[in-house]
Chains A and B, each alone.
Chain A
Amino acid sequence: MAEFVTVLVDGIFYSAWLFVAAVGLTLIYGVMKIVNLTHGSFYALGAYAGASFTGAWIAHGYPPMLSYAVLLAAAIIITLVFAPLIERGILRFMYAKEEVVILLITYSLFLILEDVIKLIWGVDPYFVSEPYGLLGSFDVGEMTYPTYNLILVGIAIVSGSGLTLLLQGTRIGKLLRTVIHDPEVSRAMGINVDRFYLVTFTFGSMLAAIGGAFTAPTVSVVPGLGVEIIVLSFAVVVIGGLGSLPGAALGAVIVGLVRSATIHYVPALELFVIYFVMAMVLAFRPRGLFSLAEPRKI
């Protein structure tokens, strides 16, 4: 029983982290039909910005309790620098191309950003563990967990419910759903589709950066951080159904719990199991668990 609780708690933490890291990917795909590999780059950018800003903040002797706000601000600022540049500067000229070609374009942007990160922050690792230790810990059963882990759970809940409310309950959400349904008609109706794309791309990327920033205090921030998160995010959103918000949540929970259980019971299968679940879902529900039927062709 105690072990089960451990698996569950670990699984929840891991799911929350996955959701924050991956939800932007599904948002961007859902609205813009772009399979966006730069998502991993924004995660890494967020981590680097978070680590370096917070490191500087603490080194200057400013109040450490505000370092959480600095992490958030770092993620937002770094995204506002890069995301509009990429969307307005390059991606918007590519929307007419096939999905697969756009995927390749984001792949080349991912390669470029990998080195941009190295040029800005160098190749030495960054550590900022202060925010991690600051909040103390709490107990569940016999296990002790850092309270910091709850922050990501909070971010996951806020971003997930916030996005749902935005899409379902507001005028902007209604317009956005129109854009998703038919960008051409929306344009003809006078909706500023370009602005929706810019905002969606920026906001989706920002979520990845926030995920990276709040992960930074728990790891050493090194080059290549974004590489692994890309495949993990794909696993999460593909399991749920590309473009589906509840799908991403479900995918995160499935991957989170499955991984946590595997680590506890069969550690050797830790990596295998995530991609196995992804392949199985694709095999039986090619468009994911939350998916729409394909339209008739002739």
Chain B
Amino acid sequence: MSNITPRDRTLPMLGAVLLAVIVLGPLLPKWALFLLTIAIAKGMVSLGLMLQLRAGLVSFGQALYYCIGGYTAGSLGRFFDISDMLLQMICGASAAAFVALILGFLLARYRGIFYGLLSMALSMILYGLLAKSESLGSTDGINILPSTIFGIRPVQEWVRYVVLVTGCSVAALAAALVQRYLKTPLGQLSPAIKDNEIRVEYMGASARKAIHVKYVIAAALSGIGGALAATAVGHIDPDMAYWTTSGEFIFITILAGTRSVAAPFLGAILFETIRTVAFDISPNTWQMTLGISLLLVIVFLPEGLWSLFSRRKAA
């Protein structure tokens, strides 16, 4: 919305963060590079969830597209010997978007918990199929070819850095495009759909079509995230589509809030950090830490952590 961000600093901020990653990356320990890459991958999925959440929809099955992205990347390596990260992300996004385009005709008719439940069922269908498909490794999953970019295999010391910078660049570009989309009339329709769909229809717009578009964009973003996570981890398995994975993405999105396209990435970094630290301190209570954080955010910061930063006057 034009006056939510009076002077929009999102694009320079994205650029600055990307630059900071490129410059400071070599100084970071390997585990931090890995943590950031996974956070970027999950942030992409969460960005897609944010688009849906702005329209009042919570998908309990976004892991479907994360998994499609991951398995597309895996299949490219296994069946076509392709290990290029960018190509994997592009193909992951395309495959996810294609599936979403078809399923969207169904899903765009649903609202509230039924949207969540149906998306969860669809995601579990993929889980059920992958867990039993031997050519794709059943429940064990398959390994991903070592990452390359533009045909070049980075030396071992620099692989994590290269993957992170590639992922960050793609994420920054995607966030900028989503930002642009949010400013179009169709993007601005989201809170209106959430508030009052009857009015939207009588205004001459199709809420269903708008939701379908958001669903496809969200899937493409999740597909990129899945491919990036696959190449960073070097392994994929059906758990990528399990409902608890979707739960993680929802967690990140709620934690972050919907006020900025940068929020999901911040949320994802925070999530991965809480999880890593909590797991280190006490491996048996990290879920409890996450649960309590989520509860506190829902109750005390219903618009997410980002609302602490944005200065929109209370109406």
**Is the pair A231, B124 in contact by a Cβ cutoff of 8 Å?**
yes
Given A109-B295, A115-B285, A282-B118, is A104 in contact with B132 using a C-beta cutoff of 8 Å?
Answer: no
Q: Which of B24-32, B93-101, B107-115, B145-153 contacts A (4 or more CB under 8 A)?
A: B107-115
Task: Mark out the residues of chain A between 93 and 133 whose CB falls within 8 Å of any chain B CB in the assembled complex.
Answer: 94, 98-101, 103-105, 107-112, 114-116, 118-119, 123
For chain A, residues 68 to 112, give those with C-beta under 8 angstroms from any C-beta of chain B: 90, 94, 98-101, 103-105, 107-112
A286 to chain B minimum Cβ distance, whole angstroms, is 6
Chain B residues with CB under 8 A of A111: 287-288, 290-291, 294
Mark the stretch among A3-11, A13-21, A56-64, A264-272 that contacts chain B: A264-272
B121: contacting residue among A119, A123, A268, A279, CB under 8 A: A279
B137 interfacial contact with A, CB 8 Å:
no
B254 touches which one: A104, A123, A270 (CB < 8 A)? A104
Contacts of A44 in B (CB 8 A): none
Which residues of chain B have C-beta atoms less than 8 A from A123's C-beta?
284
Q: Say yes or no for A230: interface residue by CB 8 A criterion.
A: yes
Max chain A C-beta neighbours (<10 A), residue from B109, B129, B295 = B295
Interface majority SS (helix, strand, loop, mixed), chain B: helix
Cβ of A276 under 8 Å from chain B: yes
Q: Given A119-B284, A227-B244, A234-B120, is A108 in contact with B128 using a C-beta cutoff of 8 Å?
A: no
Q: Are B114 and A235 in contact (CB under 8 A)?
A: no
CA distance A94 to B295 in the complex (A): 11
Say whether B315 faces chain A, with CB atoms less than 8 Å apart.
no
Category for how many chain A residues contact B: 35 or more
Cross-chain contact of B291 among A101, A112, A242, A267 (Cβ < 8 A): A112
Inter-chain contacts of B113 with A (CB < 8 A)? 35, 99-100, 103, 242
Residues of B within 8 A of A219 (CB): none
Looking at the assembled complex, report how far the CB atom of B239 sits from the nearest CB atom of chain A, in whole angstroms.
11
Most-contacted residue by chain B among A98, A267, A268 (CB, 10 A): A268
Q: Measured between alpha carbons, how far is A297 from B202 in the docked complex, in Å?
A: 13
Give the shortest distance, in Å, between B288 (CB) and chain A (any CB): 4
Near A by CB (< 8 A), chain B positions 287-301 give: 287-288, 290-292, 294-295, 298-299
For the complex, give the distance between the alpha carbons of A139 and B133 in Å.
35
Let me know if B121 and A104 touch, CB within 8 A: no
CB–CB A275/B124 < 8 A: yes
Tell me which residues across on chain A come within 8 A of B116, comparing CB atoms: 100, 103
Quick check: is A298 within 8 A (CB to CB) of the other chain? yes
A112 to B288, CA, bound (A): 4
Contacts between the two chains (Cβ within 8 Å), count: 122
| Complex CA–CA separation, A298 to B298 (angstroms) | 31
B58, B112, B124: the one contacting A271 at CB < 8 Å is B124
Question: Which residues of A have CB within 8 Å of B250?
Answer: 104, 107
When distances are taken between beta carbons in the complex, the residues of chain A under 8 Å from B117 are: 35, 234, 238, 282
Give Cα A70 to B125, complex, Å: 38
Known: A99-B112, A115-B287. A104 touches B106 (CB 8 A): no
A-side contacts of B58, CB under 8 Å: 100, 103-104
Would you give the shortest CB distance from A127 to chain B, in whole angstroms? Answer: 21
Q: Is the interface of A mostly helix, strand, loop or mixed?
A: helix
Say yes or no for A250: interface residue by CB 8 A criterion: no
When the two chains form their complex, are residues A271 and B132 in contact, meaning their CB atoms are under 8 A apart? yes
- Whether A273 is near chain B, meaning CB under 8 Å from some CB there, is yes
A177 interfacial by beta-carbon distance below 8 Å: no
A254 at the interface (CB under 8 A from B): no
CB neighbours (8 Å) of A270 from chain B are 128, 132
Q: Are B121 and A271 in contact (CB under 8 A)?
A: no
- The complex places the Cα of A119 from the Cα of B291 at a distance, in Å, of 15
> Is A112 a contact partner of B292 (Cβ separation < 8 A)?
yes
Chain B residues within 8 Å of A286, by CB:
109-110, 114, 118
Residues of A within 8 A of B251 (CB): 107
In the bound complex, how far is the Cα of B282 from the Cα of A118, in angstroms? Answer: 11
- How far apart sit A277 and B200, CA to CA, in the bound complex (Å)? 33
Whether the pair A112, B112 counts as a contact (CB closer than 8 A) is no
B290 CB to nearest A CB, Å = 5
B245-277, CB under 8 A of A: which get 1 and which 0?
001001100100000000000000000000000
Q: Is B284 within 8 A of A115, CB to CB?
A: yes
> In the assembly, what is the distance between CA of A230 and CA of B244, in Å?
10
Residues of B within 8 A of A94 (CB): 299
> Do B247 and A235 touch across chains, with their CB atoms under 8 A apart?
no
Closest residue on chain A to residue B109 by CB atoms: A286
Q: Does A2 contact B (CB under 8 A)?
A: no
B213 at the A/B interface (Cβ < 8 Å)?
Answer: no
Q: Report the separation of the CA atoms of residues A238 and B251 in the bound assembly, to the nearest whole angstrom.
A: 23
User: A269 to B254, alpha carbons, bound, how many Å?
Assistant: 34
B112 partner residues in chain A, CB cutoff 8 A? 98-100
Shortest distance between the CB of B232 and any CB in chain A (Å): 25
For the complex with contacts A227-B244, A269-B132, A272-B129, 15 further pairs of A-B residues with Cβ separation under 8 Å are A94-B299, A103-B116, A112-B295, A115-B286, A234-B117, A235-B121, A270-B132, A271-B128, A273-B128, A274-B124, A282-B117, A282-B118, A282-B121, A283-B118, A286-B118
What would 8 A/B residue contacts be, using CB atoms closer than 8 Å?
Answer: A35-B113, A103-B113, A104-B250, A108-B290, A227-B244, A234-B120, A242-B113, A279-B121
